[in-house]
Amino acid sequence: MNATENTHQPEGTNTNRRFFLTSALIAAPLLIALVALGCGEEKEKATANLATTDTAAPVGTGAPLAGAATTVQPASAVATPRDDDSATDQTLPPDIVAAGPESIVAPGSVVTVAATGSTDVTSVLLTDRAGQKTPFTYDSESNLWKASYRVPIRSTGSKLALAVTATTEANRWKRVWVFLRLKDEVVPTPTWA
């Protein structure tokens, strides 16, 4: 009996492994992209539905439509917008939009991440994949929240994900993601003599 016959694996096994590995590597990013696009689509549909229900008359004419019936309600039956806003401000999470630099960043460089939030935002926090938390500061002149972040030298991959979380006084929060494109640069490892 030959020793090579016992250790030889069928050629189909290697092909199957390679096929499944390739399929998994292709399917994972596609699945993540579809989930991310699906979440945004639902938010846009909800915003569109709210926008269509809020606008009842054409803007800019100043006059009622011909043939439209007008009704007068007593002042006690009409709710003021402030009452509705103050009731929902405590139950709704804040709104925030964050952005980082558009250009490719090098490991070790310092970048500024800016965010714009709704008026009820009381704090904004930046968190990286290592769990390092950096608070934002509010710039009242530009109405922006800003934070400086140093890109880790030992960054791997082509993108770095940063979480930006806005919080209100009622402890409601919303998290958005900022992706930094990293420079494909090999960092030399120091050799100790």
45-90 pLDDT, tens digit per residue, is 444 444 433 444 444 444 444 444 434 444 334 433 344 455 455 7
Q: What is the pLDDT of residue 165?
A: 98
The dihedral built from the CA positions of residue 30, 35, 41 and 43, taken in this order, carries a sign that is negative
Which of the two residues, 89 and 26, has the higher pLDDT score?
26
Those residues with Cβ within 8 angstroms of residue 125's Cβ, 6 or more apart along the chain or in another chain? 133, 134, 135, 136, 164, 165, 167
Which of 80-89, 153-162, 178-187: highest mean pLDDT? 153-162
- The structure's pTM equals 0.52
Per-residue confidence at 15, pLDDT binned at 50, 70, 90? confident
Give first-to-last CA distance, the chain, whole Å.
51
Q: Report which of 130, 126, 106 is spatially closest to residue 115, judged by C-alpha positions.
A: 126
Q: Flag whether pLDDT at 118 surpasses 80.
A: yes
Across the range 106-122, mean pLDDT stands at 95
What is the rounded distance in angstroms from the CA atom of residue 140 to the CA atom of residue 103? Answer: 26
Residue 96 burial (CB count, 10 A): 21
- Output the pLDDT for position 151: 94
**Residue 106 pLDDT class (50, 70, 90 cuts):** very high
User: Within a 10 A sphere around the Cβ of 117, how many other Cβ atoms?
Assistant: 24
pLDDT of residue 173: 96
pLDDT grade for 39, boundaries at 50, 70 and 90: low
Please give the average per-residue pLDDT across 133-154, as a whole number.
Answer: 95
